[in-house]
Protein backbone atom coordinates (compact mmCIF):
# COMPACT_ATOMS: atom_id res chain seq x y z
CA UNK A 1 0.00 0.00 0.00
CA UNK A 2 1.43 3.38 -0.97
CA UNK A 3 1.05 6.54 1.12
CA UNK A 4 1.63 10.19 0.33
CA UNK A 5 3.97 11.92 2.72
CA UNK A 6 4.77 15.58 3.22
CA UNK A 7 8.52 16.09 2.87
CA UNK A 8 10.04 19.07 4.61
CA UNK A 9 12.05 21.26 2.20
CA UNK A 10 15.70 21.41 3.17
CA UNK A 11 15.52 25.20 3.16
CA UNK A 12 12.75 25.12 5.77
CA UNK A 13 14.68 22.71 7.97
CA UNK A 14 17.85 24.76 7.68
CA UNK A 15 15.99 27.96 8.46
CA UNK A 16 14.35 26.41 11.51
CA UNK A 17 17.67 25.25 12.87
CA UNK A 18 19.07 28.75 12.51
CA UNK A 19 16.30 30.14 14.70
CA UNK A 20 18.13 29.15 17.89
CA UNK A 21 20.10 32.19 19.09
CA UNK A 22 23.75 31.58 19.71
CA UNK A 23 23.34 32.83 23.27
CA UNK A 24 21.29 29.72 24.00
CA UNK A 25 23.82 27.31 22.59
CA UNK A 26 25.09 24.76 25.08
CA UNK A 27 28.41 25.86 26.44
CA UNK A 28 30.87 24.62 29.01
CA UNK A 29 33.12 26.72 31.25
CA UNK A 30 36.51 27.23 29.66
CA UNK A 31 38.27 27.39 33.01
CA UNK A 32 39.96 30.67 32.19
CA UNK A 33 41.54 32.68 34.98
CA UNK A 34 39.58 35.81 34.00
CA UNK A 35 36.27 34.01 34.44
CA UNK A 36 37.38 32.65 37.82
CA UNK A 37 38.43 36.12 38.98
CA UNK A 38 35.13 37.62 37.86
CA UNK A 39 33.16 34.89 39.63
CA UNK A 40 35.07 35.47 42.86
CA UNK A 41 34.19 39.18 42.77
CA UNK A 42 30.46 38.47 42.74
CA UNK A 43 28.45 38.46 45.95
CA UNK A 44 26.49 35.35 46.96
CA UNK A 45 23.29 37.17 45.95
CA UNK A 46 24.68 37.98 42.51
CA UNK A 47 25.90 34.41 42.05
CA UNK A 48 22.37 33.26 42.89
CA UNK A 49 20.98 35.57 40.21
CA UNK A 50 23.44 34.19 37.64
CA UNK A 51 22.64 30.60 38.57
CA UNK A 52 18.91 31.24 38.15
CA UNK A 53 19.55 32.90 34.80
CA UNK A 54 21.42 29.80 33.62
CA UNK A 55 18.58 27.58 34.85
CA UNK A 56 16.05 29.68 32.93
CA UNK A 57 18.33 29.60 29.88
CA UNK A 58 18.42 25.83 29.89
CA UNK A 59 14.67 25.60 30.46
CA UNK A 60 14.13 27.89 27.46
CA UNK A 61 16.39 25.66 25.35
CA UNK A 62 14.53 22.54 26.43
CA UNK A 63 11.13 24.07 25.69
CA UNK A 64 12.36 25.28 22.30
CA UNK A 65 13.69 21.90 21.19
CA UNK A 66 10.61 20.04 22.40
CA UNK A 67 8.51 22.51 20.43
CA UNK A 68 10.79 22.06 17.43
CA UNK A 69 10.34 18.29 17.65
CA UNK A 70 6.58 18.75 17.65
CA UNK A 71 6.79 21.01 14.60
CA UNK A 72 8.76 18.33 12.75
CA UNK A 73 5.74 16.09 13.03
CA UNK A 74 3.25 18.50 11.50
CA UNK A 75 2.43 17.29 7.98
CA UNK A 76 0.80 20.41 6.54
CA UNK A 77 3.49 22.78 5.27
CA UNK A 78 1.76 26.01 6.26
CA UNK A 79 0.80 24.64 9.66
CA UNK A 80 4.41 23.52 10.15
CA UNK A 81 5.69 27.00 9.30
CA UNK A 82 3.21 28.53 11.74
CA UNK A 83 4.36 26.04 14.38
CA UNK A 84 8.00 27.04 13.90
CA UNK A 85 7.13 30.71 14.01
CA UNK A 86 5.16 30.36 17.24
CA UNK A 87 7.95 28.29 18.74
CA UNK A 88 10.46 31.01 17.89
CA UNK A 89 8.25 33.71 19.40
CA UNK A 90 7.92 31.69 22.59
CA UNK A 91 11.71 31.38 22.76
CA UNK A 92 12.20 35.12 22.30
CA UNK A 93 9.63 35.88 25.01
CA UNK A 94 11.33 33.45 27.37
CA UNK A 95 14.71 35.08 26.71
CA UNK A 96 13.31 38.56 27.27
CA UNK A 97 11.75 37.46 30.56
CA UNK A 98 14.85 35.72 31.90
CA UNK A 99 16.95 38.78 31.07
CA UNK A 100 14.49 41.08 32.86
CA UNK A 101 14.36 38.73 35.85
CA UNK A 102 18.14 38.69 36.05
CA UNK A 103 18.33 42.50 36.03
CA UNK A 104 15.64 42.71 38.72
CA UNK A 105 17.43 40.18 40.92
CA UNK A 106 20.76 42.01 40.60
CA UNK A 107 19.06 45.31 41.47
CA UNK A 108 17.52 43.68 44.54
CA UNK A 109 20.96 42.34 45.48
CA UNK A 110 22.29 45.90 45.42
CA UNK A 111 19.46 47.02 47.73
CA UNK A 112 19.98 44.12 50.15
CA UNK A 113 23.77 44.34 50.29
CA UNK A 114 24.62 41.15 48.41
CA UNK A 115 24.84 38.68 51.29
CA UNK A 116 23.39 35.18 51.06
CA UNK A 117 19.84 34.90 52.35
CA UNK A 118 19.87 32.46 55.26
CA UNK A 119 17.81 33.77 58.22
CA UNK A 120 18.33 32.01 61.53
CA UNK A 121 15.04 30.55 62.74
CA UNK A 122 14.86 29.48 66.39
CA UNK A 123 11.38 28.56 67.68
CA UNK A 124 12.32 30.05 71.05
CA UNK A 125 12.59 33.45 69.38
CA UNK A 126 8.89 33.45 68.44
CA UNK A 127 5.71 34.18 70.38
CA UNK A 128 2.18 32.88 70.00
CA UNK A 129 -0.13 35.09 67.98
CA UNK A 130 0.57 38.21 65.93
CA UNK A 131 -0.14 41.66 67.43
CA UNK A 132 2.16 43.94 65.42
CA UNK A 133 0.14 47.23 65.29
CA UNK A 134 0.42 47.43 61.49
CA UNK A 135 -0.21 43.73 60.89
CA UNK A 136 -2.48 42.46 63.67
CA UNK A 137 -4.01 39.04 63.16
CA UNK A 138 -7.15 38.84 65.30
CA UNK A 139 -8.56 35.29 65.35
CA UNK A 140 -12.07 35.22 63.93
CA UNK A 141 -11.82 38.61 62.20
CA UNK A 142 -12.43 38.91 58.45
CA UNK A 143 -11.27 41.82 56.29
CA UNK A 144 -13.18 42.21 53.03
CA UNK A 145 -11.70 43.91 49.97
CA UNK A 146 -12.93 44.68 46.46
CA UNK A 147 -11.12 45.39 43.21
CA UNK A 148 -13.22 46.88 40.43
CA UNK A 149 -11.84 46.12 36.95
CA UNK A 150 -13.04 46.60 33.39
CA UNK A 151 -13.98 42.91 33.28
CA UNK A 152 -15.78 42.71 36.62
CA UNK A 153 -15.38 42.87 40.39
CA UNK A 154 -12.97 40.81 42.45
CA UNK A 155 -13.84 40.22 46.10
CA UNK A 156 -11.25 39.08 48.64
CA UNK A 157 -12.12 37.83 52.11
CA UNK A 158 -9.14 37.51 54.48
CA UNK A 159 -9.97 35.62 57.67
CA UNK A 160 -7.61 35.05 60.57
CA UNK A 161 -8.49 31.56 61.72
CA UNK A 162 -8.11 30.06 65.20
CA UNK A 163 -5.83 27.39 63.71
CA UNK A 164 -2.06 27.21 63.84
CA UNK A 165 0.43 25.26 61.76
CA UNK A 166 3.88 24.39 63.07
CA UNK A 167 6.58 25.16 60.49
CA UNK A 168 10.29 24.80 61.32
CA UNK A 169 9.11 24.31 64.90
CA UNK A 170 7.35 27.70 64.93
CA UNK A 171 3.58 27.89 65.62
CA UNK A 172 2.21 29.94 62.73
CA UNK A 173 -1.17 31.65 62.58
CA UNK A 174 -3.25 30.36 59.64
CA UNK A 175 -4.93 33.05 57.54
CA UNK A 176 -7.55 32.09 54.95
CA UNK A 177 -7.80 34.15 51.72
CA UNK A 178 -10.89 33.46 49.63
CA UNK A 179 -11.15 35.23 46.26
CA UNK A 180 -14.11 35.41 43.88
CA UNK A 181 -14.59 37.21 40.58
CA UNK A 182 -18.17 38.20 39.83
CA UNK A 183 -19.22 35.52 42.29
CA UNK A 184 -17.06 32.71 40.87
CA UNK A 185 -14.28 31.26 43.02
CA UNK A 186 -10.86 31.88 41.47
CA UNK A 187 -8.47 31.40 44.41
CA UNK A 188 -8.45 29.78 47.84
CA UNK A 189 -5.28 30.26 49.89
CA UNK A 190 -3.92 29.49 53.35
CA UNK A 191 -1.09 31.77 54.53
CA UNK A 192 1.16 31.14 57.54
CA UNK A 193 2.50 33.95 59.75
CA UNK A 194 4.45 34.16 63.01
CA UNK A 195 5.81 37.02 65.11
CA UNK A 196 9.22 37.03 66.75
CA UNK A 197 9.93 38.46 70.20
CA UNK A 198 11.17 41.72 68.68
CA UNK A 199 7.82 42.24 66.95
CA UNK A 200 8.73 41.38 63.35
CA UNK A 201 6.04 39.42 61.48
CA UNK A 202 7.43 36.54 59.43
CA UNK A 203 5.83 34.82 56.45
CA UNK A 204 6.36 31.04 56.54
CA UNK A 205 4.56 29.99 53.37
CA UNK A 206 1.26 29.52 51.62
CA UNK A 207 -0.93 26.91 50.03
CA UNK A 208 -2.41 28.71 47.04
CA UNK A 209 -5.12 27.00 44.96
CA UNK A 210 -6.33 28.51 41.70
CA UNK A 211 -9.69 27.59 40.15
CA UNK A 212 -11.24 27.80 36.68
CA UNK A 213 -14.90 27.02 36.08
CA UNK A 214 -15.15 25.56 39.56
CA UNK A 215 -12.25 23.13 39.03
CA UNK A 216 -8.81 23.24 40.65
CA UNK A 217 -6.43 24.48 37.96
CA UNK A 218 -3.12 24.98 39.76
CA UNK A 219 -1.07 25.52 42.90
CA UNK A 220 1.15 28.27 41.51
CA UNK A 221 3.05 30.22 44.14
CA UNK A 222 2.65 27.62 46.89
CA UNK A 223 5.65 27.12 49.16
CA UNK A 224 6.50 26.16 52.74
CA UNK A 225 9.56 27.23 54.69
CA UNK A 226 11.91 24.30 55.17
CA UNK A 227 10.62 22.42 52.14
CA UNK A 228 12.82 22.36 49.00
CA UNK A 229 15.14 24.94 50.59
CA UNK A 230 12.37 27.55 50.95
CA UNK A 231 13.00 30.19 53.63
CA UNK A 232 10.67 32.55 55.48
CA UNK A 233 10.74 36.30 55.03
CA UNK A 234 9.39 39.33 56.84
CA UNK A 235 6.06 40.93 55.88
CA UNK A 236 6.12 43.62 58.56
CA UNK A 237 9.06 45.04 60.48
CA UNK A 238 8.79 45.69 64.22
CA UNK A 239 10.02 49.25 63.66
CA UNK A 240 9.62 50.11 59.96
CA UNK A 241 12.03 52.70 58.64
CA UNK A 242 11.71 54.54 55.36
CA UNK A 243 14.17 53.09 52.85
CA UNK A 244 14.25 49.57 54.28
CA UNK A 245 14.25 46.80 51.67
CA UNK A 246 13.53 43.24 52.71
CA UNK A 247 12.59 39.81 51.39
CA UNK A 248 9.08 38.65 52.22
CA UNK A 249 9.67 35.07 51.07
CA UNK A 250 12.41 33.07 49.40
CA UNK A 251 12.30 30.00 47.23
CA UNK A 252 14.17 30.64 43.96
CA UNK A 253 11.90 30.70 40.90
CA UNK A 254 8.85 30.03 43.09
CA UNK A 255 8.55 32.72 45.79
CA UNK A 256 10.71 35.84 45.57
CA UNK A 257 8.49 38.68 46.81
CA UNK A 258 10.23 41.69 48.35
CA UNK A 259 9.23 45.13 49.58
CA UNK A 260 10.61 48.55 50.41
CA UNK A 261 9.19 51.11 52.83
CA UNK A 262 8.26 54.42 51.19
CA UNK A 263 6.48 56.41 53.91
CA UNK A 264 4.94 56.19 57.38
CA UNK A 265 2.52 59.11 57.37
CA UNK A 266 0.09 58.51 54.51
CA UNK A 267 -3.61 59.38 54.62
CA UNK A 268 -5.85 56.82 52.91
CA UNK A 269 -9.54 56.94 51.98
CA UNK A 270 -11.37 53.70 51.12
CA UNK A 271 -15.05 52.68 51.30
CA UNK A 272 -14.59 51.40 54.86
CA UNK A 273 -13.28 54.77 56.12
CA UNK A 274 -10.46 57.29 56.32
CA UNK A 275 -7.13 56.43 57.90
CA UNK A 276 -4.14 58.51 58.96
CA UNK A 277 -0.60 57.49 59.84
CA UNK A 278 -0.55 54.67 57.29
CA UNK A 279 2.61 52.85 56.29
CA UNK A 280 3.21 52.77 52.52
CA UNK A 281 5.30 50.04 50.91
CA UNK A 282 6.35 49.15 47.39
CA UNK A 283 5.84 45.42 46.85
CA UNK A 284 7.53 43.66 43.92
CA UNK A 285 9.03 40.38 42.72
CA UNK A 286 11.92 39.67 40.33
CA UNK A 287 9.75 36.84 38.96
CA UNK A 288 7.42 39.51 37.52
CA UNK A 289 9.74 42.42 36.69
CA UNK A 290 7.00 44.54 35.13
CA UNK A 291 4.57 44.22 38.06
CA UNK A 292 4.56 46.14 41.34
CA UNK A 293 2.09 47.62 43.77
CA UNK A 294 1.80 50.05 46.66
CA UNK A 295 0.31 48.73 49.89
CA UNK A 296 -1.02 50.91 52.69
CA UNK A 297 -1.22 49.59 56.27
CA UNK A 298 -3.38 51.30 58.89
CA UNK A 299 -2.70 50.95 62.63
CA UNK A 300 -4.82 48.26 64.39
CA UNK A 301 -6.15 46.97 61.04
CA UNK A 302 -3.39 46.09 58.57
CA UNK A 303 -3.77 46.45 54.82
CA UNK A 304 -6.49 48.91 53.84
CA UNK A 305 -5.48 49.65 50.25
CA UNK A 306 -3.40 48.12 47.44
CA UNK A 307 -2.71 49.99 44.19
CA UNK A 308 -1.47 48.13 41.11
CA UNK A 309 1.14 50.44 39.59
CA UNK A 310 0.72 48.91 36.13
CA UNK A 311 -3.06 49.02 35.77
CA UNK A 312 -3.94 51.58 38.42
CA UNK A 313 -6.51 49.18 39.88
CA UNK A 314 -7.31 49.69 43.58
CA UNK A 315 -7.99 46.88 46.02
CA UNK A 316 -9.89 48.64 48.80
CA UNK A 317 -11.09 47.61 52.25
CA UNK A 318 -14.89 47.66 52.22
CA UNK A 319 -15.73 45.96 55.49
CA UNK A 320 -14.66 44.12 58.64
CA UNK A 321 -16.65 41.44 60.41
pLDDT at residue 25 tops 70: no
HSE-up of 244 (CA within 13 Å, CB side)? 18
Helix (H, G, I), strand (E, B) or coil at 58: helix
> Tell me: the pLDDT tens digits for 132-141?
999 999 999 9
CA count, 13 A, side-chain hemisphere, 268:
30
Q: Give the dihedral sign, CA 108/203/130/313.
A: positive
Res. 21: pLDDT tops 70: no
Q: Where are the domains of the chain?
A: 10-112, 123-320
123-320 maps to CATH 2.40.360: yes
pLDDT band, residue 277 (cuts 50/70/90): very high
Q: What is the mean pLDDT of residues 1-24?
A: 48
Amino acid sequence: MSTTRFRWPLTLLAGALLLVPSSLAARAPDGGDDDDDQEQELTPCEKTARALREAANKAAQEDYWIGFANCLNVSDRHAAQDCLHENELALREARDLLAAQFDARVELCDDLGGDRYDPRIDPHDFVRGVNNPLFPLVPGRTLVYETVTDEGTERIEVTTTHATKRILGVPCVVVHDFVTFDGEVIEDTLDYFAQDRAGNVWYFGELSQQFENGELSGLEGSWTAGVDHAKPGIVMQATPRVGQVYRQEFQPDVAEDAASILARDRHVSVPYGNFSGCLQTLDFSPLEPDASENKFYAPTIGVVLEVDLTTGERTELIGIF
